[in-house]
Amino acid sequence: MKKLIALLAMSFICVSLYAESFTIGNTQPGTFFFIQGQSFTPNVQGNEGTGIATPNPDGNILLTSFSLDFVNAATAPGEIHIFASAPTLAQAASGTGSIGTGTHVGGGVYDFGPGLLIPFFAKSFAVLPNSAEIFDAPNAYAGGADLFPIGGFVNEGGFDAGFNATFQTVPEPSTYLMFLILGACVITRRKR
């Protein structure tokens, strides 16, 4: 049993080392407004993007963290929700209908643990439970827009918040299998 656990741990460590990371984002603007988040499209890197963006064959990618440039990071809500479409204000407040929730870890950064699977070529919406004072300016990021409450819904505006999102490629099952076999070979050789 110990060997099996060691084998699995080693295969997941190897896979996590293999996963490529990349970022998208928008440079912090010089003005700020009360907004509720930012929509984004992972295949549009923006002026703060780094790395090579590569989805899996199904067209998905793992979101690992998302940050917003709050005027005062101490005012950042404790969580941020990711939606596939613009939510109502009630959904934004509760997270109902979201595809995942990130936890604030400080400095305006929200962590998504091992990663949230999202579409690579489709727009997603990073929505706070309520409005906050965030650096925001006219359209610098082509993959989305700032979000603000109006008429019971969270709507896209004409500006963009300062933000960064970090993604990892989704390891393929064949990659898991390859590292599992490699780990088994290593353990078997140690026995001899």
Please, are residues 19 and 169 in contact by the beta-carbon 8 Å criterion? yes
Query: Do 62 and 120 fall within a single domain?
Result: yes
How is residue 23 written in tokens?
A: 């970022």
One domain for residues 83 and 59: yes
C-alpha triplet 32, 154, 151: angle, nearest 5° = 105
Q: Write the DSSP symbol of residue 10.
A: H
Rounded to the nearest 10 degrees, the angle between the axes of helix 173-191 and helix 2-18 is: 130
User: Residue 129, Cβ neighbours under 10 Å: how many?
Assistant: 18
d(C-alpha 32, C-alpha 175), whole Å: 44
- My answer on whether 81 and 114 are in the same domain is yes
Stated pTM of the model: 0.79
In a shared domain, residues 190 and 151:
no
Domain shared by 111 and 123, yes or no: yes
Give me the tens of pLDDT residue by residue for the chain, a chain 192 residues long: 555 455 455 555 444 445 689 999 999 999 999 999 999 999 999 999 999 888 988 899 999 999 999 999 999 999 999 999 999 999 999 999 999 999 999 999 999 999 999 999 999 999 999 989 999 998 789 999 999 999 999 999 999 999 999 999 987 665 555 566 666 656 766 665
Please check whether residues 96 and 182 belong to one and the same domain.
no
The predicted pLDDT at position 185 comes to 59
2 shares a domain with 82 = no
pLDDT for the residue 17: 45
Residue 190 confidence (pLDDT): 64
> Token pair for residue 87?
């939510």
Number of domains, the chain: 2
Domain extent at residue 25:
21-170
The CA-CA-CA angle for residues 160, 166, 167, to 5°, reads 120
Q: So what's the pLDDT on residue 52?
A: 87
